Every structure is written in C-alpha cells, then in structure tokens.
Amino acid sequence: MSTSSYDKPDFWALKAKKEGYPARSVYKLQEIDEKFHLIKAGMRIIDIGAAPGSWSQWLLKRLAGTGFLSAVDLQPLTMNSPHSNFFFVRGDLYDPAVRSQLIAKGPYNLVASDAAPGTTGNRVVDQGGSEAIVDAVISYAEESLAPGGSFVAKLFQGGAERELIDRLKTRFSTARSFKPKACRSNSFEIYLVASGFKG
C-alpha cells in the first residue's frame, strides 16, 4: 500500500509536535494573525471546529489569561484546558441548542474556524460540505460578533469563494482570501479573512 504525502510528517507537523501542539494547523492561524493582526489580549473569541485543539491552545496562550474563548467540535479536544476563561462544547455546530450556548457567551471580537467536513475523496462533494460549514460560521458571526469584530474560516476552494467573499463584504469593511505557507502545497484549502464587522 502506498503512503500518502498526508501521512508523512512535514516541517510543520514536526514543529507542532516539538512545541506541544496537537496539529500543524496552529501555524496557519499564527501566520494569519501576523498578517492581519486579528487577535489582541482581552478579546472574546469563538473557535468553531476546534478539535484536536491547536487553535484553542494557541489562542489561550495569546490571550494570556485575559478575555474569553469558547470552542465547539464533535470530537473531544486533546489539549489540557484548565483555563477559567475557556468554555468548550462537544457537539454539532449546526445544533440549535449548541449554537444557543455558544452565542450566549458573546458578543465576540473574533469568530474563527478551521472546521472541515469529513472528506470523501470526491472534490465536488467535499467542496460542498466545506461551503456549508463556512456558510454556518458566517451565520454565527452575523449573530454574535461585536461591531468591529473579525472573522477567519477555512474553505475548500471550488466555485463558491467569490460568492462567500462578496457576502462577507456586505457585513465587514474588508474581506479577502489568503493561503498560509503552512498549508500543504497540494492542498486546495484557503482561508477567508474579514475585519471591521458592521453590526
């Protein structure tokens, strides 16, 4: 059986292991923050699709005991979470009861999502699942962001990124796509980044 390049640890995966993060995705968020300056101490943030926990772990480190972080995923987190400013719900982001719990912890200054659908190998199907998640995350942002807030979400590239960016531009001052260096070269994922929520 041949080994997929996704099974081989690369520079970022090895770096994550060395630095104590559950997954290499942490460096995508770090690069996004370095470029767009989305995260500041004292913020209230929601991490949608948080497992295994790299983004939440890094966000809590950045908040350094200030602000508040909510997170949700169908899977448990592998990170330790003895933080008084951290709230995790294990559940479905589409579940109205889960949504209500999370939105009640707002308003937020940043809605962040690295969520992805379970992949099937059919690119069209996988893109559709990714687009549905991003659509739901935008809906969370529209309901729970404070004015001036920001948004970042992973999207599998397909035919919908222009439409989703246009939707974001109606609610935010700026919106664009960005591909961090930590994304695998053969990946078709990008991130949608928006700031200046208009309320």
Residues marked active site are found at 154
- Which residue do the tokens 């790299």 mark? 54
CA nearest neighbour of 184 among 27, 20, 21: 27
Closest to 197 (Cα-Cα) out of 129, 143, 148, 128: 148
Q: Which H or E run includes 76?
A: none
What are the distances in angstroms from CA 189 to CA 19, 34, 41, 87?
24, 19, 28, 28
Task: Please give the DSSP secondary-structure letter assigned to residue 181.
Answer: T
d(CA 138, CA 132): 10
Q: Does residue 136 contact residue 94 with C-beta atoms inside 8 Å?
A: yes
Whether 149 and 168 have beta carbons less than 8 Å apart is answered as no
Is the separation of the CB atoms in 79 and 56 below 8 Å?
Answer: yes
Q: From CA 59, how far away is CA 124, in angstroms rounded?
A: 32
- Residue 49, classed as helix, strand or coil, is coil
